[in-house]
Structure 1
Amino acid sequence: MTAEGFDAVIVGAGFAGMGAAIQLNRLGFENLAILDREDDLGGTWHVNRYPRLTVDIPTTTYSYWFEPNPYWSRLHAPGDELKSYADHVAEKYDLRRYMRFGTTVESARWDEDSQRWQVALAGGDTLTAQFLITATGYLSQPRIPDIPGIAGFEGRIMHSAKWDGGYSLDGRHVAIIGTGVTAVQLIPELAERAAELTVYQRTPIWVVPRVDFAIPAAVQRLFARFPLSQRLLRVLTDAIAEAGIFTAVVHYNWSKPLNRGAAQVSKLHMFASVRDRATRRKLTPDYDFGCKRTTFSNHYYRTFALPHVHLETTGIAQIEPDGIINGEGRKTVTDTLVLATGFDLWDANFPAIEVIGRAGANLGKWWRENNFQTYEGLSVPGFPNYLNMASPYAFTGASFFTMTEYQMRHMSRLFGELLRRGSDTFEITERASAAFHRRISRRLGDMVFFRGNCATSRSYYFRGNATITRPTSRRNAIRESMRFPLSDYHFS
């Protein structure tokens, strides 16, 4: 069978994948394939549909700078508006023509003879491409807990990333496992509808009040007519969002008082919502603010003051067909089990598919042997014509879009030089990759993950001595994406 050939294969039809396709189009590459295992575009905003899903930073910041949306209904827009925004971007930039849904990529292998990537699909088909870009996001592999007896549960099980909107929770005896960001949004909704709700908490989370409000139609019309007015608001929300990351996470060494202050705000928020001292003790983390993703809610803590909501912190011994046995041997009868257990980032998503580079180098193995390093959050030596967009040391500025757009700038400089030289391949040199990693590693000691008390946080932000967060400012990331030495890459 003859394999289809493309300029580039992009794995993932979320905002990172669409950003990569837009940038490649700007550079003149039109023969693209965007592959996604789901049945539509949008990535996490297509997959996640649970009640009260909202973006947890201002949507003025959580959007492309080059494609503002003046019609957000709220400062923190609901999930369906993010999906509509993704549809709008795909339509405006004519990206659906490249997309193939229900297409699972099993592996990609660099072929030295043809100087092309061989991309193997489930079902046996193969595509070839000059360039390979993986844009599978950070939160794309749902984590299913390995709890004894879970396979034998006879009630309904739903993971937050596979929500069944047609299933009624009214009057149910619901148990939810997990108290991360998703659970903070979901638990108040479950409490409103369930007859009994039991929350199984392994690790408590710091929660601070959310500043949110509806954006009046008149203001939306103003944004549409005078885009500069929305730009000014975005400058403000960008600065606030980055300030939180820059102080609470990146420069913890000099911002400890701010972190402690944020933790006190969370405690006061909890005190105002929950009067029972024992419950407050259970809800209070024993790790520093900033170790896990900052979480905002005006409803989460007060949910635990309701008489039909129960907080379990002794663990789960096993699951029986009709209920859950906690760590003390007490059974709670349950007919609906909600898994807000997050995503398997480090083990299943780095990388999300098998990637084999030059001389049989395996990316997953290489990352684990070399501390998950990447050059500027994109490139890895030994993997020609390959970029991984949601990678270690890539996330910056508190917004996924900030990361995506500085990577698009990096692509513009890199591919522009490739075209200028008339070359066919690029590959980051081992020297440049190692130098970048040494420089980044020197800054890790300032971060809360490695200087603060994060041992009990079970945060997906870091693993060992590696992190997904770039330990620099957003400004630094943008500047370097436009000025990195072209000699750091080998062109041939």
Structure 2
Amino acid sequence: MAQRQTRDQRRYQTSVVIVGSGFAGLGMAIRLKQAGIDDFIVLEKSADLGGTWRDNTYPGCACDVPSLMYSFSFEQNPSWSRMFAEQGEISDYLQRCADKYRVREHIHYGVRFTGAEYDESANTWRVSTADGTEYVGRALVSGVGALHIPSYPELPGVETFEGEVFHSAEWNHDFDLADKRVAVIGTGASAIQFVPRIAEQVARLHLFQRTPPWIQPKPDWPIPSSWQRRFRRTPMLQRIARAALYWLLEARYVAVFNRRLGKLAERMSKRHIRETIKDPKVRAAVTPDYAIGCKRILLSSDYYPTLNRSNVDLVTSGVAGVRRRSVVTGDGAEHPVDAIIYGTGFHVTDAFAHLGIVGRDGRKLQDAWRNGMEAYLGITVSGFPNLFFLLGPNTGLGHNSVVFMIESQINYVLSCLRPICRDEVGQVDVRQSVQDSFNAEIQSKLTDAVWSAGGCRSWYLDENGINRTIWPGFTWKYWLRTRKANPADYEITAGESR
């Protein structure tokens, strides 16, 4: 296997260290293999690969991007069973990719990345892990993404609660929800998927909503076996279908900036509310008072109908605290429950705050991001040579497939890694002026965009109200900018082979 281990068995040396084995880390590993680079190690904190699609196993967990787009362009899956694949099917797809491209042998499981320090004299990153094992690499690639640290709200008295408590990303499948009284905190992307599933089992479901999301019908249906056979026989047919979907999704971005189209989308969503919810009070409660697109637009055809059930209560008075067997709302009402399930999402804008990454001259990543996280093209950070982020700052999407962005970033990173792994280049460090210019450009586009000016507060924004998450443009424009790294953007030192 392409790695070098020292005598004490506690130190590994390699060319590239990749952190994470979800779509980003796995994709990077596969592309390295395809490029003929075998000297790399993937660090995975869990006992299996898959990232988000390994961890999130809550009932109804599925993708909200069409299956044909939610896959690697180089490894199309002709056998997707639905237009929007569920968690198990996506997880199986990633497992097959790992097997086909022979990357399992490079993955070190049960290794939790805790930090890294750059050794400028040796042009290497010294990566530390929770168990004390050290990994030394010429380059470090972060593929951890942003949706991996569950966000828990601070509820007064929750420590006194005697029932069951868990987050949707850490679903307790051993706890039987049948005939239980359940409180669901949050009405975001995860909740609108699992609420319809558990509402059929529980005795009572109290759904605590702070801010209603914009929800549109989900155009989901089984993909006929006849079409799966056609895709297998004629791969080009699937590529054509994928391309058509790509441009259809890309067109959604226009509505984000075109207020006339945005109003049309709002009217369509309000019609969905009117047609599916019976109670006018509930209809009013779930109708957002902010511009569509300000928060993530959600897709569901069964969430609103679930609110018609006699055993489901929508609560909008806010959670004031928790007692031994109940949740108390702001109006003083007490809601007896046996379990609390958080559907409160993840830490996003502060997802890297806990990592001890130290670059040149002892500069900490937290210090570099003191005023908010930023990176050139969302990939490289000045003062941190040979460190590359996949799904870094301002590369998230609200309209198309993030896998497309991941592949664009992987191509860019690979153009940097090739000369590093051949010892032609010692280090590549993006110029501060280049990084500053890029971030000034995108922030100027984001300032008046719907995410910032749409009248809501979302996880797209950091504590200062600045959007550090979304890419403010078409994805094809990002692809054009990331086809290959421009040497003029970087301070580059020669490697040993020069």
On the 8 A contact 1:203/1:457 being kept in 2, the answer is: no
Q: Tell me the CA shift for residue 23 of structure 1.
A: 2.3
On the 8 A contact 1:287/1:457 being kept in 2, the answer is: no
1:273 aligns with 2:276: yes
On the 8 A contact 2:411/2:484 being kept in 1, the answer is: no
- Residues 362-401 of structure 1: pairs in structure 2 closer than 5 A: 362-369=364-371, 371-396=372-397, 398-401=400-403
Aligned to 1:147: 155
1:330 aligns with 2:333: yes
Aligned to 2:254: 247
Q: State how far apart, in whole Å, the 2-side matches of 1:172 and 1:183 are.
A: 17
Aligned to 1:87: 95
* Inter-CA distance 275–106: structure 2 relative to 1 (3 Å threshold): same
Q: Tell me the CA shift for residue 443 of structure 1.
A: 2.1
Aligned to 2:112: 104
Letter of the structure 2 residue corresponding to residue 294 of structure 1 = I
Aligned to 1:179: 187
**SS in structure 1 at match of 2:270:** helix
Q: State how far apart, in whole Å, the 2-side matches of 1:191 and 1:332 are.
A: 17
Letter of the structure 2 residue corresponding to residue 237 of structure 1 = L
What does the per-residue CA deviation read over 1:289-341, in whole Å, with 9 as the maximum and x for residues that have no partner? 00111111111111111111101111111111111111111111100111111
Aligned to 1:353: 355
Aligned to 2:460: 460
Q: Tell me the CA shift for residue 472 of structure 1.
A: 2.3
Aligned to 1:435: 437
Q: State how far apart, in whole Å, the 1-side matches of 2:422 and 2:491 are.
A: 14
Q: State how far apart, in whole Å, the 1-side matches of 2:433 and 2:459 are.
A: 31
On the 8 A contact 2:141/2:388 being kept in 1, the answer is: yes
Q: State how far apart, in whole Å, the 2-side matches of 1:109 and 1:307 are.
A: 57
Q: Tell me the CA shift for residue 352 of structure 1.
A: 5.6
Q: State how far apart, in whole Å, the 2-side matches of 1:274 and 1:440 are.
A: 40
What does the per-residue CA deviation read over 1:375-418, in whole Å, with 9 as the maximum and x for residues that have no partner? 11100000011001121122356212111110122123223454
Letter of the structure 2 residue corresponding to residue 400 of structure 1 = V
1:258 aligns with 2:261: yes
What does the per-residue CA deviation read over 1:239-290, in whole Å, with 9 as the maximum and x for residues that have no partner? 122222x2233xx1xx101111111111111111112221111111111100
On the 8 A contact 1:134/1:387 being kept in 2, the answer is: yes
* Inter-CA distance 445–457: structure 2 relative to 1 (3 Å threshold): closer
**Cα-Cα RMSD:** 1.7
Q: State how far apart, in whole Å, the 2-side matches of 1:319 and 1:83 are.
A: 36
Q: State how far apart, in whole Å, the 2-side matches of 1:472 and 1:196 are.
A: 43
Letter of the structure 2 residue corresponding to residue 275 of structure 1 = K
On the 8 A contact 2:111/2:131 being kept in 1, the answer is: no
Q: State how far apart, in whole Å, the 2-side matches of 1:150 and 1:202 are.
A: 18
Aligned to 2:3: none
Letter of the structure 1 residue corresponding to residue 482 of structure 2 = S
* Inter-CA distance 372–146: structure 2 relative to 1 (3 Å threshold): same
On the 8 A contact 1:427/1:489 being kept in 2, the answer is: yes
Aligned to 1:489: 490
Q: Tell me the CA shift for residue 438 of structure 1.
A: 2.5
Q: State how far apart, in whole Å, the 2-side matches of 1:424 and 1:89 are.
A: 32
Letter of the structure 1 residue corresponding to residue 392 of structure 2 = S
Consecutive unaligned residues in structure 2, runs of 5 or more: 1-7, 494-498
Alignment equivalent of 1:406, drawn from 399, 405, 408: 408
Q: Tell me the CA shift for residue 212 of structure 1.
A: 1.1
* Inter-CA distance 420–336: structure 2 relative to 1 (3 Å threshold): closer
Aligned to 1:307: 310
Give the 4+ runs in structure 1 shifted more than 4 A: 417-421
Q: State how far apart, in whole Å, the 2-side matches of 1:461 and 1:87 are.
A: 33
On the 8 A contact 1:203/1:458 being kept in 2, the answer is: no
Letter of the structure 1 residue corresponding to residue 460 of structure 2 = Y
Q: State how far apart, in whole Å, the 1-side matches of 2:131 and 2:486 are.
A: 42
On the 8 A contact 1:350/1:391 being kept in 2, the answer is: no
If the length of structure 1 is used for normalisation, what is the TM-score?
0.94
Q: State how far apart, in whole Å, the 2-side matches of 1:406 and 1:219 are.
A: 29
On the 8 A contact 2:138/2:420 being kept in 1, the answer is: no
Paired positions, count = 483
Q: State how far apart, in whole Å, the 2-side matches of 1:18 and 1:478 are.
A: 20
**SS in structure 2 at match of 1:181:** coil
Q: State how far apart, in whole Å, the 2-side matches of 1:248 and 1:178 are.
A: 26
**SS in structure 2 at match of 1:281:** helix
**SS in structure 2 at match of 1:298:** coil
Percentage identity across paired residues of the two chains: 33
Consecutive unaligned residues in structure 1, runs of 5 or more: none
- Residues 190-209 of structure 1: pairs in structure 2 closer than 5 A: 190-209=198-217
Q: State how far apart, in whole Å, the 2-side matches of 1:192 and 1:160 are.
A: 17
- Residues 419-430 of structure 1: pairs in structure 2 closer than 5 A: 422-430=424-432
What does the per-residue CA deviation read over 1:211-241, in whole Å, with 9 as the maximum and x for residues that have no partner? 1110111211110110011111111111122
**SS in structure 1 at match of 2:267:** helix
If the length of structure 2 is used for normalisation, what is the TM-score?
0.93
